[in-house]
Amino acid sequence: MADLEKLTMDEAAQAMLKKAAAEGIETIWDRAEKMKPCPIGEEGACCRLCAQGPCRVPKPKKAKEGEVQKKQAVGLCGATPETIVARNFARMIAAGTSAHNDHSRGVALLFKEVAHGRTQGYAIKDVTKLRTVARDWDVAITVGEGDDVKPRPKEAIAQELADKVLLAFGQQSGELPYVARAPKKRQEIWRKEGIVPRGCDIEVVELMHRTHMGVDQDYKNLMKQGARCALSDGWGGSMISTDLQDIMFGCPVPTASEINLGVLKEDHVNIIIHGHEPLLPEMITVAVQEPEMIQYAQSKGAKGIQLAGMCCSANEILMRHGVPVAGNYLHQELAIITGALDALVVDVQCIFQSLANVAKCYHTKLITTDPRARIEGESVYIPYDDHHALDVARKVVREAIDNFPNRRAPVMIPAESHPTIVGFSYETIRYLLGGSIRGSYYTLNDNVIGGRIRGVAGVVGCNNCRTTQDSSHMTVIKELLKNDVIVLSTGCAAMAAGKYGLLTPESAVKYCGPGLAEICETVGIPPVLHMGACVDNSRILMAATACVKAGGLGTDISDLPAVGCAPEWMSEKAIAIGQYFVSSGVYVVFGVTFPSTGSDILTDYLGQGMDEIYGGRWDFEADPEEMAKKLIARIDQARKKLGIDKARERVLYDMAMRRELEEAARAAEEV
Ligand code: MSK
C-alpha cells in the first residue's frame, strides 16, 4: 500500500492497481519502474537531427581538485548545447502547436459543413457567440441600410465566417485576426519583436525548417520563432476551435456532474470516450439517449447505457452536457481493468498504445475513430464522418452494447466519484461577475484591488507517471487557495481538482483564505473554476485580457497579478501552451522535469531573457510547495508594482469611480 501511495494519491486508482497486479496486467507504472528516463535526453542535450549522431552534449562534471576540467562537448557539426537544447525545445513547441492547430482545422471544416447544412445531427446552437465572433473576423452580422437594417441570417454569417477562418490556416502573411483581441500594449510588443503569427500552419512549418540540421543556430532567434509558433496556437488554432465548438455545441454554462471511476455502472453498458476531439462525442451523447438505443441495451440484459469520458474529449462533453468523467490521463488503462468497460472509444492525442493489449485481457472493445490515429491491435475502426456523424455514433454505441454480454473478468468498480460543478467559460465568468446587463470582469478586478482575492492562477496540464498522480496538482492548488488565489483550471489538472472535491462551491469554506471564501460564497462559485479542455486555455487568455480591459490592474497581461503552472505536465502540447502564456506576459512554472536544463544559457534565456522582452518567463520547480511559494511571490511582486500590495479596507466603487477606471483602461488601449 505504501508503494501504491507513491504512485497515485487517488484511492480508486490504487484499488485498480491492486487488481491489475492480482490479474497480471502491466500498466504504465510497471513500465516506468523498468525504464528510467535517459538523463541526457531528459535535459534536452541529445541531438538526433542528422545521421552523424546522435550527439550527446551533457554538462561536464565539475573537476575535483587537481583534475583538469573537461571541456563542454559540442555536436559533430559544432552545434553548441544551447543550440541543441533550443532546437529540441522548439520542436516540442512545433509538435504541440500542430496538435492544437490540426484539431482546430478539423473543427473549422466541420463548421463549414454545418453552415451549409450538409451535416447530420449538428446545428448552430449559440447564435449570440456566432455574432460576437463574426465581428472579430470582419463578417457582417446585419444586412440592409438605414432604416432597413436587419439581422443577417445565421447561416449566411456562418458560411462567410467559415471561409475566412479556413483561410487563416494557410495564410502566408499579415496577422492572425485574434491577435487584435490582445491588449494593445501586448500587440505592440509582438510587432516590435516581429513575432505576430501570420497563419496557423506557416509558423509550425517554419519552425520545423529552422530546427533542421544546419539552419537557425542562434538560440535567441530560435526561441523567437518558438514564440511566434506558440502564439499561432493560443491566439490562433486553440482560440478558433474553442469559439467554433461553442457556436456549434453551445457555450458552456455551470453544469453539475461527477468524476472518477465510480461513475461507471456494473449493470449498464459502459462506454468511455477518450482523446481530444468533441465532434463525434457530441453525437455519441445524442445516440446514447435515444429510446431505441436504450431498449437495445436492455435487450442485451443491461439496465441502460452509461457514457463517461477521459482526458479532453471528456472535458468537452462534461462542460456542455454534464457527461461524467471516469478519470484523467493516468486512468486510461485502469478503466479497462475494472472489467466493466464495454467500449473505449478513442480519437487523437494522449492515448496509450498499450490500451490495445490491456483491452485484449478483458472484453473491452478498443474503438478507434480517426484516420490520423490508428492503433495496431485495435478491436474495430469506425471512422468519423461529419456528413453521417449520428449514424457513426449509433454504430459505435451498438458495438458497445453488443459487447455487454461478453464480460468475463471479475468486475470491480471503485466507489470513488465526486460531485463537480463545471462550465466556467470566459463568457460565463463575465456573466456571473457582472450580470447580463453590465457583465464585466470589473468585479473580479475590484476584489483583487481590494485584496480579498490576492491574485489569479491558471493550474493546467497533465498527469505524469514520474510523480505521484494528482499529488502536485493538489498541493499547489490548496496552497494557492489558502492564500486567496483563485484558480482557473483546464485539462487533467481540472479533473484532478474535481476528484478531490475542489470543483464545488462548498469546498471554498474548507480550503480558501477568508477573502476568497467570501467571494466564492457570495457569487456561489467553486474556488477552482473548470474552464475546459487543453484548447480552452485560450479562454484563460481571454479572461486575462478582459481583466486588463476592465481597468484598475495595469494596461497589459504582464501587469496582472496572474500566474500559470503545469505541476504534472508530460505532453509537447503543454510546452506550446507554456510558451504562448510566457509570450503573452505570464510567469509560468512547470513541475516534474524541464527539457532545457541541459543548457544553463538557454534556461536563463527562457527565464530572465524572456522576462525582459515579454514580461513573462519560464520557471521550473519540482517541489509543489516551493512552486506555490514562487507563484505567490510573483503575484505579490505584481501587486506591489500596481501599488495594491498594502492590505486595506475594501473600497466600494460607485458608478462614477467605476466609469473613471474603465475610461482609463480604454484610454490606455487607444494609445
Ligand atoms: S488531456 S495534454 S494529458 S492535460 Fe488534454 Fe491531459 Fe495533458 Fe492530455
Task: Tell me the pLDDT tens digit for each residue of 169-209.
Answer: 999 999 999 999 999 999 999 999 999 999 999 999 999 99
320 closest CA partner among 360, 362, 283: 283
Residue 662's pLDDT is: 63
Residue 654's pLDDT is: 60
Q: How far is the CA of 671 from the centre of ligand 1 (A)?
A: 39
- Are 218 and 333 members of one domain? no
Residue with CA nearest ligand 1 atom 1: 311
350: Cβ below 6 Å to ligand 1?
Answer: yes
Q: How far is the CA of 461 from the centre of ligand 1 (A)?
A: 6
489: Cβ below 6 Å to ligand 1?
Answer: no
* Atom number in ligand 1 closest to CA 493: 4
Is there a domain that residue 66 lies in? no
* Atom number in ligand 1 closest to CA 460: 4
pLDDT at 567 over 90: yes
pLDDT at 151 over 90: yes
pLDDT tens per residue across span 277-323: 999 999 999 999 999 999 999 999 999 999 999 999 999 999 999 99
- Are 310 and 241 members of one domain? no
278: Cβ below 6 Å to ligand 1?
Answer: no
Is there a domain that residue 664 lies in? no
Per the structure, the count of domains in the chain is 3
Residue 146's pLDDT is: 86
pLDDT tens per residue across span 320-379: 999 999 999 999 999 999 999 999 999 999 999 999 999 999 999 999 999 999 999 999
pLDDT at 48 over 50: yes
575: Cβ below 6 Å to ligand 1?
Answer: no
Q: Name the residue range of residue 500's domain.
A: 423-657
pLDDT at 125 over 70: yes
Q: For all residues of the chain together, what is the average pLDDT? A: 95
Residue 207's pLDDT is: 98
Q: Are 413 and 340 in contact (CB under 8 A)?
A: yes
Q: What is the CATH number of the domain that holds 568?
A: 3.40.50.2030
Query: Computed from CA positions of residues 18, 24, 26, 31, in that sequence, does the dihedral angle turn out positive or negative?
Result: positive
Q: How far is the CA of 2 from the centre of ligand 1 (A)?
A: 27
Which cell numbers hold the place of 531?
A: 474552464
- Are 212 and 305 members of one domain? no
Residue 443's pLDDT is: 87
393: Cβ below 6 Å to ligand 1?
Answer: no
- Are 116 and 221 members of one domain? yes
- Are 223 and 316 members of one domain? no
Which cell numbers hold the place of 315?
A: 472535458
Q: How far is the CA of 214 from the centre of ligand 1 (A)?
A: 33
* Atom number in ligand 1 closest to CA 490: 4
pLDDT tens per residue across span 430-486: 888 775 555 678 889 999 999 999 999 999 999 999 999 999 999 999 999 999 999
- Are 555 and 581 members of one domain? yes
Is there a domain that residue 395 lies in? yes
In DSSP terms, 487 is beta-bridged to: 457, 528
Is there a domain that residue 49 lies in? no
CA distances from 57 to 12, 36, 60, 421 (A): 42, 19, 8, 48
- Are 459 and 333 members of one domain? no
pLDDT at 549 over 60: yes
DSSP secondary structure letters along 100-165: HHHHHHHHHHHHHHHHTT-SSS-----HHHHHHHHHHTT---EES-GGG-EEPPHHHHHHHHHHHH
Percent of the chain past pLDDT 70, that is, above it, reads: 95
Helix (H, G, I), strand (E, B) or coil at 272: strand
- Are 316 and 228 members of one domain? no
Is there a domain that residue 21 lies in? no
- Are 585 and 647 members of one domain? yes
Average pLDDT over residues 584-588: 98
- Are 244 and 262 members of one domain? no
* Atom number in ligand 1 closest to CA 573: 2
pLDDT at 576 over 70: yes
Q: How far is the CA of 199 from the centre of ligand 1 (A)?
A: 25
- Are 315 and 340 members of one domain? yes
pTM: 0.95
Say how many Å lie between the first and final Cα of the chain, rounded. Answer: 61
Q: Choose the final residue of a domain: 192, 216, 249.
A: 249
pLDDT at 665 over 80: no
Look at phi and psi of residue 136 and say left if phi exceeds 0, alpha if psi is from -120 to 50, else beta. Answer: alpha
Q: Choose the final residue of a domain: 249, 280, 313.
A: 249
pLDDT tens per residue across span 226-279: 999 999 999 999 999 999 999 999 999 999 999 999 999 999 999 999 999 999
Q: What is the CATH number of the domain that holds 221?
A: 1.20.1270.30
Residue 42's pLDDT is: 95
Is there a domain that residue 578 lies in? yes
* Atom number in ligand 1 closest to CA 461: 4
Angle at 310 between CA 231 and CA 594, to 5 degrees: 45
Q: How far is the CA of 633 from the centre of ligand 1 (A)?
A: 27
Quote the CA–CA distance of 548 and 489 in Å, as a whole number: 20
Look at phi and psi of residue 484 and say left if phi exceeds 0, alpha if psi is from -120 to 50, else beta. Answer: left
Q: How far is the CA of 588 from the centre of ligand 1 (A)?
A: 17
- Are 313 and 445 members of one domain? no
- Mutate which of 238, 276, 311, 351 to test ligand 1's pocket (most atoms within 8 Å of Cβ)? 311
Q: How far is the CA of 355 from the centre of ligand 1 (A)?
A: 16
Is there a domain that residue 237 lies in? yes
pLDDT tens per residue across span 594-633: 999 999 999 999 999 999 999 999 999 999 999 999 999 9
Average pLDDT over residues 109-137: 97
* CB atoms inside a 10 Å sphere around CB 35: 8
Q: Choose the final residue of a domain: 249, 281, 298.
A: 249
Is there a domain that residue 123 lies in? yes
